[in-house]
Amino acid sequence: MKLYFLENITSKIKSILGSPSLGVKAVIFNNKQQVLLIQHTYRVGWHLPGGGIIAGETPRGAVCREVLEETGLKISNPLLTSVLLNKWRYQHDYVLLYKVTDFLGFPEIQDHHEIENIGWFNLNKLPDGITSNTRSRISEILNGDNQNDHW
């Protein structure tokens, strides 16, 4: 069984019990002024790569693993830019947001059960369907604004 199914079940159980979860997201920029976005098979819109932290895993290790699992990119030197509270449907999730500019490889869907689409997008022409939270996180990193505490 794929790890993300287990993480999803664990997250749902924790949300029912009121326990917060901890996750990571990566804003990955290339040298062409583009950002990497993904579409999940189970969520609407364009999102940043990322996911949950597994027990015993470091946040840096989690963001590297999640990006590799979702995009095939091997990232290095992720820079923590903010820690955000995501309150959604009575859940209390904390998201550690990383900026990434160092990576090896080319983006390619690794698991078609989880990822539907992946692509680089020009920063001045983000795709239709990008979520407002994703757009806001990209803007905050580009503008050096880390004053927001909420996803």
Spatial separation of the C-alpha atoms in residues 54 and 6, rounded to whole Å: 10
CB 26 within 8 A of CB 51: no
Residue 120 lies in a domain: yes
Residue 13 lies in a domain: yes
Total domains, the chain: 1
pTM for the model stands at 0.85
Q: Is 59 exposed, middle or buried (0-12, 13-18, 19+ CB in 10 A)?
A: middle
Residue 94 tokens read as 């904390």
Residue 73 lies in a domain: yes
Residue 148 lies in a domain: no
* Structural domain containing residue 131: 3-143
Quick one: pLDDT band at residue 38, thresholds 50, 70, 90?
very high
Spatial separation of the C-alpha atoms in residues 94 and 75, rounded to whole Å: 22
Residue 151 lies in a domain: no
CB 78 within 8 A of CB 60: yes
Q: CATH number of the domain that 16 lies in?
A: 3.90.79.10
Residue 149 lies in a domain: no
pLDDT per position as a tens digit, 104-127? 999 999 999 999 999 999 999 999
Report residue 51 CA to chain centroid gap: 6
Residue 48 lies in a domain: yes
